[in-house]
Amino acid sequence: MNAFNQRVIEEFRANRGRVGGMFEGRPLLLLTTTGAKTGLPRTTPAVYLPDGEDRLAVFASNGGSPTAPAWYHNLTAHPVATVEAGTRTYRARATEAAGADRERLWARQVAADPQFAAFQERAGRRIPVLVLTRWDTHL
């Protein structure tokens, strides 16, 4: 894990889901996936978009990089993850949004955070949108 992500994770956990800096005021979660190659747990901060009571959308923009982030590959290999959002922690199943659902979520995210439009332009690829659906309330 890089030092930047480690600092964000520590700040998130120390402040009940709130962080400053570039993420201040943005909805941020911690996503713990299972490594596609290693099988080890990997925790990454990610901006999210609420979509109903038990659904959150995350965007595999990787800051506009031409490659998707590792967490995307981890979720496609192992679609169950742990989500920390605010003070809540729970298990979720990830599915890739497609068609009208993907377009609706992407348009909402660009409206909420216009830098995602710039990420799309820079990436040179269609940025995947994943939906995390809560399925375990026992954590």
- Render pLDDT for 83-120 as a digit per residue (tens, 0 to 9): 999 999 999 999 999 999 999 999 999 999 999 999 99
What is d(CA 97, CA 56) in angstroms, rounded to the nearest whole number?
A: 11
Quick one: pLDDT at residue 53? 87
Q: What does pTM read for this prediction?
A: 0.92
Assigned superfamily of 3-136? Electron Transport, Fmn-binding Protein; Chain A (2.30.110.10)
| Residues forming beta bridges with residue 132, ordered by sequence position | 56, 94
